[in-house]
Every structure is written in structure tokens, then in C-alpha cells.
Amino acid sequence: MIAAARAQTTQPVLFAVSTVNHQYSASTFLRDDIAGTLTLLDTSAPFKNPCTPQAIDAKGRFLFGVCGDGLSLYTFDAASGTVAEIVASPFNASTGNTGTLIVAESTGQYIYLIKSATPNQAAQTLYLDTFQIDATTPALIPLNSQTLPVAGALVASAGDPNLHGMALLLNQNTTGASYPSAILYTITFDPGIGAANLDPAGGQRIGDTARSMTISPTGNFLAIGFGQSSGTLNVYQIGSGAFTLSNPVSYPLGAPGSPQQILRWHRRRQPAARAGPHSQSRYGPEFSRHHSARHAEPRPIHPRHQFRLSHSAILHRRPQRT
């Protein structure tokens, strides 16, 4: 699942990817959150590679997608809605392994790719590939690929919507225990220069048997589901200016109650707000890799929020506030 993120787009838009005869293209829609309508702005020419855009940079200029050993790069014209793949795509900082998560950072200088190898609970290796965004050429400049100092089977990954970092959830079993340990590993981005800082603690154990993880679209909270014989949901508050986690609250789910699905978290809306001057959705441009989504609504477990099970890979975007 793709993490939500903010971008400096002038208006809320949605990108829908389609395929015809094994060729991919993207359609850009203007989204009216008050009327609930979509207006087609443009449909791209077929992309050169069989890859699709999955993330956008902080300034709303470029889109990125996992492609081959690295990333494909697409330009985005906000005025016309045109998406076009760069001829030199894809760009790679390493060879082999599987691209898992793309995360941009808030200064618009870098884009990061998490890659994984050796799917084994005890020794799955994770890598962080770093690219600098050359907005003039345009191109991606591979800077380095580094092995993350944490091992385990990757269960979930999520990028901060405020573009300050990312979180990885793993199952780790290096001792042959009956159940693997659920490990939360975070990477933060320097708010001034955009550089990535690895987890100084090497990750933290939160319990047994990691199940699921998500970040709220507004970037205020991170939720993790874990547990073997009985399930638990941990909710952490995310810092406003940095990707820091604090004030964890645990919600026991009982037995059987292991959370098996990735959770999407949406703020409950009040019907009366739709007609007011501030009724526009707080969710902005978004990527949709599916044309339909099925949702199941469980009982809210927090007085101010509700959780929604998501079966589609959707990346929400909204205009950056200044």
C-alpha cells in the first residue's frame, strides 16, 4: 500500500492508471470535493515502460514509480494535467531485489526507494536507495544504496504524508521462538536538507507477530496491528514538524482478534460542513491503481476517528497549505 503524502498542487487532482494491450497510461482528473464530481483534464500517451506512477514530489512537479531495478520518472504539468514519462527512465541506484516503497521528502530534493530481498523471517535484507531530483534535465541522479541494519520479514511499510520520514513493520525471529517479534523501524528526513537518517535504535519491539500498519491521511497518527493468540492495535501520535512517534495508546482486541488487514484511517466528516465555506475535503490529489474499492466499516474505536479497511492501493494528495 502506498502512503499518503502532501504536494504543492494548485488544485485537488486524481491520477487513474489504465492499460490497453499491455501498455500503461495515466488520466488526470480535476476533483470537486463539494459536488463529488471528476472532470477529465488529460490522458497521457502510452508510457515507454510497463510501469506506473505511484508517488509525487513535494512540489508537484514529478511522479515516480517502481520500475525494473529502480524508479521511473514522469513529468506532471499542473495546468494541463499532462503526465509524460522521461525518455531516460528508469533510473537505478542498485541492481536486483524488489522495490517496495517510494517516499519523497519535504524539500523536493530527494526521492527514496525501499527494496527487499530474501523473504525469510530471520534474514530478509532491506535496502534504502537514494536519488537526487534533477529538475532541470529532468532526471534522477542515483546517490547511493545502503543496507538497513534490521532483518526480518517485511509486513508493511508506510510513508509520512507530511514527507518527514517512513515506517517499516517487520516480523523478526532470530532465536527460533514460537512466534516472531514485531519490529517497528523508522527512517526520518532532515527538514532542512532532506537527507535520510536511519533509526538510531535499530528498531523497537512492540510485541509478537506483526499484522498490519497504516498512517492517517493527515499524517497525525500511525496505527499498528499485532498479536498471535490475541490481537492488539497500537496508535502513536506523529510529530507535526518531524517524523517522531509518541504517546502510544493500546487497544486490546481480545481473542480471536488478530488484525489481519491494513487499516486506512479517515477523519469522520460532519454533514453540515458540506455547505460551508470550508467544506472542501482535507484529502487532495490522489493516485488510484484500481477503478473500484471495497470497504468494510468496523465500529469506531476512538471517539474522534474511525478506521476503514482498504483493499485498494490508493495514494491521497491535497494542495499544500502556505
Task: Tell me the per-residue pLDDT of 113-124, one tens digit each, with 9 for 90 and over.
Answer: 999 986 555 568
User: Which amino acid is located at 301 in the chain?
Assistant: I
Residue 216, in any domain of the structure: yes
CB 64 within 8 A of CB 57: yes
With left for phi above 0 and alpha for psi between -120 and 50, is residue 82 left, alpha or beta? beta
Question: Under 8 Å CB-to-CB from 190, ≥6 apart: which residues?
Answer: 196, 197
Query: Measured in Å, how far apart are the chain's first and last C-alpha atoms?
Result: 28
Question: What's the sign of the alpha-carbon dihedral 200, 203, 206, 211?
Answer: positive
Which of 36-40, 85-89, 97-101, 286-290 comes out lowest in average pLDDT? 286-290
> 7-61: per-residue pLDDT in tens?
667 678 899 999 998 899 999 999 998 999 999 999 999 999 999 999 999 999 9
φ/ψ (deg, to 5) at 97: 70, 175
Residue 199, in any domain of the structure: yes
Q: By CB neighbour count within 10 A (0-12 exposed, 13-18 middle, 19+ buried), where does 294 fall? A: exposed
Residue 283, in any domain of the structure: yes
* Better-predicted residue by pLDDT, 166 or 123: 166
Q: By CB neighbour count within 10 A (0-12 exposed, 13-18 middle, 19+ buried), where does 272 fall? A: exposed
Residue 198, in any domain of the structure: yes
Return the closest-CA partner of residue 72 out of 44, 111, 107, 109. Answer: 111
Residue 280, in any domain of the structure: yes
> 179-214: per-residue pLDDT in tens?
999 999 999 999 899 999 999 999 999 999 999 999
- Cell, residue 270: 460532519
The CATH number for 67's domain is 2.130.10
Q: Which domain holds residue 250?
A: 13-315
Residue 5, in any domain of the structure: no
| Helix, strand, or coil (residue 125) | strand
* Cα gap 148→317, rounded to integer Å: 28
* Cα gap 30→15, rounded to integer Å: 9
Question: DSSP letter string over 79-121?
Answer: TTTEEEE-TT--B-SS-SSEEEEEEE-TTSSEEEEEEEE---T
CB 218 within 8 A of CB 282: yes
Residue 3, in any domain of the structure: no
Residue 190, in any domain of the structure: yes
Question: Under 8 Å CB-to-CB from 308, ≥6 apart: which residues?
Answer: 263, 264, 265, 266, 295, 296, 297
Total of domains in the chain: 1
